[in-house]
Amino acid sequence: MLGAAHRAGVTGIVFLTADVHYTAAHHYDPARAAVADFTPFWEFVSGPAHAGAFGPNALDGTFGPKAVFVNAPPRANTSPAEGFQHFGEVHIDADTRALTVHLRNRQGHSLWTTTLPTP
pLDDT single digits (tens) 62-94: 999 999 999 999 999 999 999 899 999 999 999
Q: Within a domain: residue 22? A: yes
pLDDT (0 to 100) of residue 19: 83
Mean predicted confidence (pLDDT) in 53-65: 95
Residue 56 is part of which domain span? 2-86
pLDDT (0 to 100) of residue 17: 93
pLDDT (0 to 100) of residue 119: 81
Q: Within a domain: residue 41? A: yes
Q: Within a domain: residue 7? A: yes
Q: Within a domain: residue 72? A: yes
Between CA 2 and CA 43 the distance in angstroms is 13
Q: Within a domain: residue 11? A: yes
The 10s digit of each residue's pLDDT in 8-20 is 999 999 999 988 9
Q: Which DSSP helix (H) or strand (E) runs through 82?
A: none
Q: Within a domain: residue 99? A: no
**Alpha carbon distances (Å) from 74 to 10, 13, 55, 66, 113:** 38, 31, 7, 20, 22
Q: Within a domain: residue 117? A: no
Q: Within a domain: residue 30? A: yes
Total domains, the chain: 1
pLDDT (0 to 100) of residue 13: 97
